[in-house]
Amino acid sequence: MTWLSVAPETTLQHGAFKAVLAPAAGGRLTRLMSTEASTGEVTDWLVPLDDAVRAAGFEATAWPKAGCYPLVPFSNRIRGGHFVFEGRSVQLPIHPGERHALHGGSHRMPWQLIRQEPQSATMVYRHPEGEHGWPWAFRAEQDVVLDNNGVTLRLRVTNESAAAMPCGCGFHPYFPAHFGHRLQFRAGAVWPPTADFLALGPTQVDAQQDYAAPRTLPDLELTQYYGEWDGQAMLVSADGRSIHMKAEALTHLVLHRPAGKGYFCVEPVSHVADAANLAQQSGPRTGWQILPPGETLACSVRIACLAS
């Protein structure tokens, strides 16, 4: 069992916005908040990490549903933890309580803070060959940059192996449930999930799955995988506060809402769930990437936060 400590946390500040980072706890952004100067009112734009967890840390495979963490070297699930790449059979550990490998594993490892300024920071994770079953060595760097209206997250993954490496990347934010009052984004395809959250082949987006026009996210158990996403999404609270997301090099979106919980997830990612296996049938539409030795995959997401 691996235990991740949230301490030491690092705080960034720019204008009304503050971000709290926990590099040792998987390179996480544990809080994103703003303070209204005239009233002192605080708005949490991501679900903040609970104070008890902040004090005690957490078990790496049972992470808190809060903040935002990077997804490297893959997003979501790989069926049975197994795939074949260029004739090489890869077997990854099965996530506890699952039947599959989950979320790449770097969010369960300590990252190092290598640069910090008042409004920005860079965290890095170095993965040796074979660690947690992943045969390739890579380096992941994440920049967190605050501005007057929110935060930009940038992620770079570099293949440090002598052979080509398959991979993907993305971000996993947890948004307060009230921002589901109105949700809007455009995607050209949907990949329906199986009962254990693997993706099936792509289909057209039907009326029930379509958020091209703003509408309320139902308070129901919901997981859906979207492809051919245009990289933009808007989340609006009933009081008029809104979150505008804009992603670069991330053409898939995961929408997840557990029934009756205080959060939901809109995850910008580079590929669909189980792309490591689906790529053999669906090819480029899965978003699964191949990095030659020394090459870098880069992506980013900007989260702009507006009070009204």
DSSP-assigned states of every residue in the chain: --EE--PSPEEEEETTEEEEEEGGGTSEEEEEEEE-TTT--EEESSPPPPHHHHHH-EETTS--S-SEEEE-S--SEEGGGEEEETTEEEEPPPPTTSSSEES-SGGGS--EEEEEETTEEEEEEEE-TTGGG--S-EEEEEEEEEETTEEEEEEEEEE-SSS-EEE--EEEE-EEGGGBSEEEEEEEEEE-B-TTS-B---B---GGG--SS-BPPPSS-EEEEEEEEEEEEEEE-TTS-EEEEEEES--EEEEEE-TT-SEEEEEEESS-TTHHHHHHHHGGGG--EEE-TT-EEEEEEEEEEE--
Residue range 121-152, pLDDT digits in tens? 999 999 999 998 999 999 999 999 999 999 99
What local confidence, expressed as pLDDT, does residue 183 receive? 98
**pLDDT below 50 — which residues of the chain?**
none
Residue pair 243/263 in contact by the 8 Å Cβ criterion: no
What local confidence, expressed as pLDDT, does residue 2 receive? 87
What local confidence, expressed as pLDDT, does residue 97 receive? 94
What local confidence, expressed as pLDDT, does residue 95 receive? 96
Residue range 165-179, pLDDT digits in tens? 999 999 999 999 999
What local confidence, expressed as pLDDT, does residue 308 receive? 78
What local confidence, expressed as pLDDT, does residue 129 receive? 96
pTM of the model: 0.98
